[in-house]
Structure formats: structure tokens, C-alpha cells
A and B are shown apart, each in its own frame.
Chain A
Amino acid sequence: MTQLESIQEKLGITEPWVERGGAHWLVPGEKSVREVAQAMNAVHARFITITAYQLAGDEGFRLEYHWDLDGQLLGVAFEIAGNSIESIYHLCEGANWPEREVHEGFRLDFQGRAYEPLQLRQGEQSGVNLREVKP
């Protein structure tokens, strides 16, 4: 069994990995980001980053999480309708700053963690840099 199959098995996902745009993608289905992070930790995958995309209209956001597994780039995308998702900081310290960056750029909340206060605009609202404010 390959390590990619092992991740699938741990998560109980039957849909195969798909190679697209330079990464191997897995559709998480009903699995939470914490469950995915735990499965990645189990195979010693290295966390890389989170890329946030604001979807059109009121569709919310897509967060693409990336890990490295022996040189293979792994991607798992989560679409969120609201403004929050579970934090994986306590499972993976490397996710601390990427979560903070998405929080400050898009005003999304990673549940279960605290943030540093804004350094230069203390008390003001975060998420003014990349989040498009829709009328």
C-alpha cells in the first residue's frame, strides 16, 4: 500500500487521489480538516500552507491545505459557507502563521485558537486586505 492510499484508508475515503495542477488532490467528503490533519501526521507529511479563495456571490470561501509527503505535493480543499473552520494549530504547529495570515487577510475564524492582536491597527477589524466586501 502506498502512503497516499494509507491516508485514504485512515480517512475512509474511497474516491482516489487526482493529480491536477502540480499537486495530488483528495476530496475530503464529510471529513473535517482536523481528521485530515491527523491522517497527514500519521504518515509524517509536512504541513506547507493554506491558500484561501473567496468564492463568487455568497458562496463563501475555499481553503486549500497543502502538505508535502516525500516530495509529493498533497492538496485537500474545504469549502466553507460561513466564516469559520476548525483550527489545526494544536495538531500542527506549522499551521500557526498560515492560519493567522488567512484570518488577517480574509477575516475567517479558525475555531479553537487565539490570535495575536493587530500590531499596527490594534482594536480594528482584521480581514481588510484580501476579502472583497460585497454589497
Chain B
Amino acid sequence: MSYKIPMGPYHPGLEEPYKLDMICEGETILDVKLHIGFNFRGIEHLAEGRNYIQVVALLERVCGICSNVHTFTLCRAMEELTGLTPPPRAQYIRVIVAELERLHSHILWAGVAAKLMGFKTMFMTSFEIREKVMDVLQAISGNRVNYAMNRIGGVNRDIADPQAILKMVEALESEMAHTVIPIFTTSSTARSRCAGVGVLTHEQAINCAVVGPVARASGLAQDMRRAAPYAAYEELEFDVPVQTDGDVRARLLVRALEIMESCKIIRQALAKLPPGEIHTPGEKFAFTTGTATKRIEGPRGEVLYSVSWKQGSKTPARVHVRTPTFAVMPSIRWMMQGARLADAPLIQASIDPCYSCTDR
């Protein structure tokens, strides 16, 4: 006999509100229904009433973890509509901040995953390391969450002393390489809780059109930084980690390896940071009529912004945001089918869901 177990919208196993209705037989999950919308703030509608300065601050608040990717993508779209190209130094600074954000997002996820695995020490270690990434972001931007780095035509703040930042990044990289990565990749606890759990096959990943680390853990080698390079990514060397098992462990490995790649990118970008201005001159911008669509690779995958403007207007006619979790979350249904009920929190967390991004 099957029965329904609701999880959420408010549940200790969920980071933010959403709801899973799990149809179970014994301890086995037969099917899952997902319900979203509990974090809906109407941001796309609010954007239509904000001018080109205010809209950047508004969209930065779509997400509290990957706030930078939203303004980065939005500004790229607005730059297309204003015909502006940020100076080279700004492009490098954008890359550095984007990779630092990926680092703190992936390390935060590692901590959450460790907690759900019952690995409390690793949870504490991950959050301690994450604090150091936040320190670097604070040293650059003055902020810990919403960095306010991006503006139309460049960035708001310079990196005055790249060597000081480099030292912080090297210390961080060493700590990651000696603690988090080996434990996550070799510990029997991580293996026993994650291997073969919550599998999303290659075919299912294609059908569901998933993105980011979830896609790469199911063998899809897609990464916007490589497929359609933007900012300074074309001038930097990095690998795109891909795993083929499609389980929680594969998603864990992809993110762990991406942490090391991000450190590699930051080191190169700091070393190559070109001199010059950090934004185009002027504070007033003239928009042409049209729509610009831009994508970047956020910590959770491809973020897309479609921004529509009418010439002479100070406010956008439409801002549409497609966040990576919105693309990935429906695939939880396939990951959960046949899984043990006790694994449900870990499986849903393995996509590194951002519910605020999803609902906007």
C-alpha cells in the first residue's frame, strides 16, 4: 500500500521553503511532486518600475548566495542595449568576483551536504573555510553578501592590491586541497551516503534540459564559460570537470573539482589583471529599443537574462530571469524515484537548490 509523505514547505531538511509530496511504499519513494512559489516576490514585475541604476540593486537581491551572477548577467544585457564595452580591467575583476562567489557557494553547499550526511565536523570545517572566502569578498567589495560590484559598463570597485588577495586565495586553496577535497573524495562516509543515490541518467539530464554541476555530473560537458566565453574567460586556462555516474557523489565530485578550478582561475586573473579604468566614463546611459539576452555560468549553472528596453525610457520594459535551479529542480522527481525515504533530504540538496532564485 502506498502513502503520501509531505516534506515542507518548512522542514529541517530544507534550506528554504518549498514542498515535496512523496508517494512511498514502505521506505521506498515511488514518485514525487514538487511545489514551488513560497518565495515569490514579483521581482520581474518590480524591475519594470526601476531605473537603470535601481534595477541593478533590485536584481542583486534575487538571491542571497549568488547575488553577483544576477547583476553580472543583467549588466551584460544592459551593455548590449547601450553599446558599451567594459574596460579590460573590469572584465578581469568581474571574473575574480564571479569565481569567489562560486567558491563560497560550493563550500556552503559542501557544508550543507555534510550536515545532511550526518558528518557534522565536516559541516563546521566547510563553514569555517567559507568564512575566509567571505573575508576575501569583503576585502574587495566591502560587503559579504550583496557585493554591489557590477554597474553598466564595468565594476564599482577596484582591486587595489592583487597580491594581498592572492595570498588569501592561496591559503584558501591549500586548506581546500588538504581538508575538504580529500575528505569528500575519499571518505567512506561520503561514499556510503552518496554513491548510487539519487541518480539522474545522461538521457534524463538531456530530456530535463538541466544545467550546471548537475548536468556535468550526468556526463553533459556544458559550461557557459567554455561554450560561450564572456568577460575574460577566453584568456584564462581551466578545465570543466565532468562525471558520468549521475548520482549524489558525482555531483559532489564535480563541485569539489570546480572549487580547485575556481582557485586556478582566480590566481591567473589576479596575475594578469590589466591596468586601466574599471568602468566606462559617465553616469547617464542611452538605451536603444530592443531586447538583449545574455547568459553566464553561475555556481548552479546557466543564468539567463532577457532585458527589453524602449529608447528614451529610464526603466526596462521587461526583465525575464531564468535561473539555474528553475531548470534543474524538476529533475528531482527522477532522482527520487526508487530512492530510500531517508535519502530524500540529501538528494534534493544535491542539486544545490536556490529556492529564492527559483521563485524570484
Q: Which residues of chain A have a CB within 8 Å of any CB of chain B?
A: 20-23, 44, 46-49, 51-53, 64, 66, 68, 70-73, 75, 92-94, 96-98, 101, 105, 116, 119-120, 129-130
Contacts and interface: CB of A to CB of B under 8 A. Distances in A.
A108 to B, nearest CB: 14
A21 B209 contact: no
A107 to B, nearest CB: 14
B258 interface: no
Nearest to B9: A119
Nearest to B76: A22
B298 to A, nearest CB: 14
A49 B322 contact: yes
B228 A51 contact: no
B290 interface: yes
Given A20-B290, A22-B292, A23-B293, 16 more contacts: A21-B81, A21-B290, A21-B293, A46-B222, A49-B327, A51-B320, A52-B320, A70-B227, A71-B226, A71-B228, A93-B208, A94-B327, A96-B330, A116-B33, A116-B35, A119-B38
10 contacts: A46-B206, A48-B304, A51-B320, A66-B304, A66-B306, A75-B293, A97-B326, A105-B44, A119-B38, A130-B44
B35 A64 contact: no
Contacts of B291: 21, 64
A92 B308 CA distance: 26
**Interface footprint category on B:** 35 or more
A78 to B, nearest CB: 15
A64 B327 CA distance: 17
B322 A94 contact: no
B295 interface: yes
A62 B327 CA distance: 22
A97 B23 CA distance: 21
B148 interface: no
B37 A64 contact: no
B322 A53 contact: no
B328 to A, nearest CB: 10
Interface string B310-339: 000000011010100011011000000000
B209 A92 contact: yes
B294 interface: yes
A75 B210 CA distance: 18
